[in-house]
Structure 1
């Protein structure tokens, strides 16, 4: 079976996909990366462009001898996945764009990118990680998976916060959408505070072979808030 590559978002890490392992690994290899500056790779030099992140992921897959793959990107990772799809379209079998969009300025976000940069510099990594992670759940800090998610976010390097925010702010994937060759599944939680509906709607309407799944009662972390539904959607899409 074609392997599935996970690309996490801002202040994420490979460990956040624990609830997907049993279901999605049953019939394929799962490859979950830790982007430079985040998770297990917090000590690597940071990257401040989406293309730079895409180049890094492609190089890692090349080093593993991975040719064709399925690709899932969440949040900032979804931007990276769009960039990868633009750069190596012939290598991606199916594409999952989850809680993401093509506009790096993140219109309608719970706060602007510049506000996040200022607050991160003032508050430090731990406080920023806990505050921003809370916005990813409908139930905020009382969500069952919030503590684990916040702990992963706390692993982020201080320099990676500003670098990641700059990478998103300075990127747009709008010109790529109509050229996406892979069959694509767009997943969005209807209470997402980071990516407003206009963002996944652009993906769904402009990518030629795109399907849409809107999950009610979820914010930015559908894979943690309703993992059974999320896993079912992804597994069905990859098998069909």
Structure 2
């Protein structure tokens, strides 16, 4: 289904008929269908589950300007108003967790967050080794040099090939607009916002996650006042897909 929010055509779907609402906020570069298995473990007789694509994700329109995380959080508030949701449990995977942290730390929003589930959530800035810092410095120097008009005119194909191989897979696969949004997100550390979260928070994490390592989960568990951590051994950044039975058990126990 589609709905128009602030002029953006947004893909979404709902399942369940319950009188409580759960909204799933997706990870970067995914589409809402990736979270069908998450929605599937939620009791549809008790909950209505909403899945949607952020602007620039899946089948939704792309932002008209490069948004930071607050931009996506502002959009989500408008989405909830259009969907007429006044109260909800929020589930966020990866980037979706970033947006939830931003919302939960605000003084006021136009709906109530009853509780939060963060799955392999982003938001904590990674600790970079000396070697990684030097690699980034070399990249910036080389990028500045290759962007010189004279140099590019001499070796356009070589430079274009080099550019196409830089950054993460998510960055390489993104459009120019979404690349700008992504850069704004990954360079922002939300650690200082964690103590402001007033809601009960459940963290679900894969101990082999390399995108948002288990270290991030322990930082969140320590800094969020009312927080618990459930680890799914042997899983990575998509822990809910890698061991669905264990994920189902955690979710069912928590939501009951």
TM range (shorter): 0.7 to 0.9
Which has the bigger relative contact order, CA under 8 A and spacing at least 6?
1
Structure with the greater alpha carbon radius of gyration: 2
SS state at 1:167 partner: helix
- Alpha-carbon distance in structure 2 between the residues aligned to 1:48 and 1:120: 26
Which blocks of at least 5 consecutive residues in structure 2 are unaligned? Answer: 1-18, 144-160
Query: Is residue 2:164 matched to residue 1:122?
Result: yes
Matching residue of 1:64: 83
* Contact 1:102 1:203 (8 Å CA) reproduced: no
1:101 shift after superposition = 4.3
**Structure 2 residue 25 is the aligned partner of structure 1 residue 2:** no
Equivalent residue runs for 1:132-147 within 5 Å: none
Change (3 A) 1:35 1:172: same
Task: Select the structure that is richer in strand.
Answer: 2
Structure 2 vs 1, CA of residues 236 and 46 (structure 1 numbering), >3 Å: closer, same or farther? Answer: farther
**Aligned partners of 1:2 and 1:45: how far apart in 2?**
33
Q: Provide TM-score, normalisation by structure 1.
A: 0.76
| Matches for 1:188-207 after TM superposition, within 5 Å | 188-207=205-224
> What's the counterpart of residue 11 of structure 2?
none
Alignment gaps of 5+ in structure 1? 133-153
Q: How much has 1:168 moved relative to structure 2? A: 2.5
In structure 2, what is the equivalent of residue 173 of structure 1?
190
Q: Is the 8 A contact 1:49 1:168 kept in 2?
A: no
Match among 98, 106, 117 for residue 96 of structure 1:
117
Q: Does 1:75 align with 2:94?
A: yes
1:84-127 CA-to-partner distances (Å, cap 9, x unmatched) read 11224771111011112432x33369x89x78xx89951499x9
1:107 corresponds to 2:124: no
1:174-205 CA distance string (max 9 Å, x none)? 22222211110011100001112221111101
Distance of 1:162 and 1:106 partners within structure 2 = 19
Query: Where does residue 15 of structure 2 map in the other structure?
Result: none
- Give the alignment of 1:32-71 within 5 angstroms: 32-45=51-64, 47-71=66-90
Q: Which has the higher helix share?
A: 1
Q: Are the counterparts in 2 of residues 6 and 33 from structure 1 also a CA contact under 8 Å?
A: yes
Aligned counterparts of 2:203 and 2:236: Cα–Cα separation in 1:
15
